[in-house]
DNA sequence: AATTGCACCAACCGCAAAATC
DNA sequence: AGATTTTGCGGTTGGTGCAAT
């Protein structure tokens, strides 16, 4: 027996035929859907109302965008997912013409793999532990070292009210005494376009509509602070510590010469926020 | 040519929230 | 105000078709 809503008479299930689609389209364009549970009868379909609703919303609606996701859409999905998690319907609201089902399928079949391939945990968007390499000191000469950092943005006047955008975005190259910072090469670049300003309930993402964050999710994000570590971050730590206080940190970062922070500046300057850089991990290799 | 394996995704299910009676 | 129906959501799945054997 089928689902209880479909158990009376014979109710078709499975894929929709073009004829069924026609009936549904004709009915809804002329009468509107009204109560979904009465649609099948009125449209002459042997389906349950639920199935009709799903077919219309996910496939037949005229305002649906067809075709594969663009890179911008993919970026938005990743950014919003980092904040909201598997809230597919919420995520889809940022993508006109896309459905939650479509976003979910795209995530499960495509984005997940991409993130893992980049060494990112698709749930937390942090570095996978399997990609963490211990910094190895050998006697005498130093290895090339790389630190991956995350960035935190918050209101300057409320240090507790922040969300941590833990996307690795920059690395520090330390060779002998000279030190320079660069952004990651574009192949592995994962600029956090999800930079945003966290207000009481909302996150304004650059380029996105504000969206709400549930309190529990917010707490979870806030607890994901990367632990401070040693060695190479010591050097970064110095930078950070030198500037005591968040306000100074902003300027100290802007002043650091080879650091391409254009995208940070544009996110920061108008808003009176501050930004902090935290080490997430170190990678090391032999020269 | 036939078989197996697998990725994809449209559609299903159960649950919960919202709406309605 | 409580019961019932309807809608919306997210996890899951099984059919389809492509690729490898």
CA-to-CA separations, A141 to A137, A173, A229, A272, A287, in angstroms, rounded:
8, 15, 21, 43, 10
Through-space separation of residue A112 CA and nucleotide C19 C1' in angstroms: 22
Task: For CA atoms A183, A225, A247, A173, give the dihedral sign.
Answer: negative
CA-to-CA separations, A87 to A106, A120, A139, A175, in angstroms, rounded:
13, 19, 50, 44
Structure tokens at A124: 């937390």
Kindly indicate whether the domain formed by A71-117 is annotated with CATH number 1.10.340.30. Answer: no
Protein chain A, residues 71-90, with a C-beta closer than 7 Å to any atom of nucleic acid strand C: 86-90
In tens, the pLDDT along A143-186 reads 333 333 444 333 333 333 333 333 333 333 232 222 333 333 32
Find all residues with CB under 8 Å of A222, minimum gap 6, and list them.
A162, A163, A164
- DSSP, res A57: I
The 3-state DSSP class for residue A146 equals: strand
- Nucleotides of strand B under 7 angstroms from a protein beta carbon: 7-14
- Asked whether residue A104's C-beta has any atom of DNA/RNA strand C within 7 A, the reply is yes
**Where in the sequence of chain A do the CATH 1.10.10.60 domains occur?**
10-60, 71-117
Through-space separation of residue A200 CA and nucleotide B9 C1' in angstroms: 38
Find all residues with CB under 8 Å of A171, minimum gap 6, and list them.
A146, A147, A148, A149, A181, A182, A184, A283
In tens, the pLDDT along A15-73 reads 999 999 999 999 999 999 999 999 999 999 999 999 999 999 999 999 999 899 998 89
Strand blocks (E) in chain A: 144-155, 162-165, 170-175, 178-183, 196-198, 202-205, 211-212, 273-285
More confident residue, A255 or A87: A87
Break chain A down into helix, strand, coil percent, rounded to 5.
40, 20, 40
- Nucleotides of strand C under 7 angstroms from a protein beta carbon: 5-12, 15-16
Rounded to 5 degrees, what are φ and ψ at A193?
-70, -10
In tens, the pLDDT along A94-134 reads 999 999 999 999 999 999 998 888 777 888 876 666 654 33
The CATH number of A10-60 is which of 3.40.47.10, 1.10.3720.10, 1.10.10.60, 3.40.50.720? 1.10.10.60
């Amino acid at each position: 027996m089928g689902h209880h809503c479909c158990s009376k008479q014979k109710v078709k299930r499975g894929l929709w035929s073009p004829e069924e689609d026609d009936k549904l389209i004709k009915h809804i364009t002329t009468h509107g859907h009204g109560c979904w549970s009465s649609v099948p009868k009125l449209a002459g379909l042997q389906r349950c109302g639920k199935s009709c609703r799903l077919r219309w919303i996910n496939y037949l609606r005229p305002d649906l965008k067809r075709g594969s996701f663009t890179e911008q859409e993919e970026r938005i999905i990743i950014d919003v997912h980092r904040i909201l998690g598997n809230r597919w319907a919420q995520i889809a609201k940022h993508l006109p013409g896309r459905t939650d089902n479509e976003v979910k399928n795209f995530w499960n079949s495509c984005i997940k793999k991409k993130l893992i391939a980049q060494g990112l945990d698709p749930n937390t968007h942090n570095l996978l532990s399997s990609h963490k390499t211990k910094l190895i000191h050998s006697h005498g000469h130093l290895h090339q070292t790389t630190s991956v950092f995350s960035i935190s943005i918050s209101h300057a006047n409320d240090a507790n009210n922040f969300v941590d955008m833990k996307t690795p975005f920059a690395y520090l190259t330390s060779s002998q005494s000279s030190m320079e910072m660069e952004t990651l090469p574009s192949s592995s670049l994962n600029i956090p376009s999800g930079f945003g300003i966290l207000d009481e309930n909302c996150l304004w993402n650059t380029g996105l509509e504000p969206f709400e964050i549930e309190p529990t999710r917010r707490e979870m994000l806030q607890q994901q602070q990367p632990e401070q570590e040693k060695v190479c971050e010591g050097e970064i730590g110095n930078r950070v510590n030198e500037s005591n206080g968040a306000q100074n940190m902003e300027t100290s970062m802007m002043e650091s010469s080879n650091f391409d922070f254009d995208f940070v500046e544009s996110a920061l300057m108008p808003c009176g926020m501050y930004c902090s850089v935290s080490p997430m991990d170190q990678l090391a290799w032999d020269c």
